[in-house]
Amino acid sequence: MKITKRQAKPVYLAIDEWEKDQHISPDQAHTLRASVEIVGFDWKLLAVYSFWIAITCCVIAVGVLLADDFLMALLAKLIDTPASVLTVISAVLAALAYYGGAQRRLKHPEKRFSNEAVYFFGVLMSAVSVGFLRETAWFETFHVAFFLGLLMVVYGLVGWRLNSILIWLFGLLAFAGWSLELTQYLADANDYFLGLNVAWRLAIVGGIVLGSSFTTVLPANLKDATRFIGWLYLLSALWLISIIGNYNSAAAWSNVPQWHFIHWAILSGIICLAAIIYGIRQDDAVTRTFGMVFLLINLYTRFFEYFWDSLHKTVFFALLAVSFWFIGSRAEKLWQLTQQQATKHGSADQSNNDHSNTDKTD
């Protein structure tokens, strides 16, 4: 069994406990310890970070290219091709990237990270194709929401068909962009759509995405990714609402006392608590973690809002230190309790195995 040094520590503790309580013999304990192989370096983590860094560098390179007028002019001279032709070429390259990634996954299913990285080039070329499409004579008057919607459909269908988390995540990002751009286009002169500002609209988008994660149409891995993005949209928007309410104007918002938004802060806290309870009952680590993290963010945001001006800064940061010390000590005790329970469960399982082996011998 190959595990890291940190993971090996509780394993060795459990073996020592079983040997001490005579659930296993010294020979069995020696065999179990010998079966543990400590991995000196986490190559999997390096692979994940390397591919993400490569993808990020590609995005930065394209962004710098598009932002540099001289390079764009030089590129236009070198290519000197109509936008419609470039649209087709980049769309074909995107399709080839998707096809190549799918074939590579069939041949090398164990190379998950590099396979997803290949899909990214399809995602990138799809965006480039839509960008060139916007420059054609037929579509130059279309609103940006149309092109975001087109990307949403492409990423959504391809991600669902190829069962790719990376492509599906870009589809969810495009869905949020399309929703916000479309509602902003249809908003009134004060930038309200059906009486809602951008933060409330993002909260509704988050609720829709989160609700879709419970459908039976999506595969299990896409459900997890959808639930992650849904909670991120929803709780981020609710946290923003607890600060600015339903205001769009910074001038109007600055004239309102912050305690006027306390009901939105309470609503955000209730939803965080509901997420924690649901995550505990359903053993859903994603939901539980989001609830805990955003509950802490909400509590500390209220602390800054209500006490930054009224308390002396020494007292303010001293209270912050005490609160974080308390959270750290509670977390440490919970971690120790979890380790003890894991050891007890392991001892009980080993004892049951010994009894069953004894019964078979008898």
3-state secondary structure of 110: coil
- Radius of gyration for the alpha carbons in the chain, expressed in angstroms and rounded: 27
* ∠ CA 93-96-97, rounded to 5°: 85
pTM over 0.85: no
What is d(CA 145, CA 133) in angstroms, rounded to the nearest whole number?
13
Across 75-108, b (16+ Cβ under 10 Å) vs e yields eeeeeeeebeebbebbbebbeebbeebbeebeee
| 82, 114 Cβ separation under 8 angstroms | no
Across 229-263, b (16+ Cβ under 10 Å) vs e yields bbbbbbbbbbbbbbbbbebeeeeebeeeebeebee
* ∠ CA 132-58-100, rounded to 5°: 75
Residue 235, C-beta contacts closer than 8 angstroms, at least 6 positions apart = 206, 268, 271, 272, 275, 290, 291, 294
- Helices in the chain by DSSP H: which ranges? 5-20, 26-35, 43-67, 69-79, 83-107, 112-134, 144-162, 165-185, 198-212, 220-244, 250-254, 262-281, 285-307, 313-361
Per-residue pLDDT of the chain (362 residues; tens, 9 = 90+): 665 666 667 777 787 877 787 777 878 777 777 777 665 555 555 555 555 566 566 556 655 555 555 555 555 565 667 778 888 888 899 899 888 888 888 888 777 777 777 788 888 888 888 888 887 878 878 888 888 889 899 998 998 888 888 888 888 988 998 998 888 888 877 778 888 888 889 899 999 998 888 887 888 888 888 888 899 999 999 888 888 888 777 777 777 777 777 888 888 888 888 888 888 888 888 888 888 888 888 877 777 766 666 666 566 667 667 766 776 676 666 666 656 655 555 555 555 555 555 554 45
Identify the residue whose tokens are 């074939």.
103
Written as six digits, the tokens of 6 are 């940190």
Strand partners, 171: none
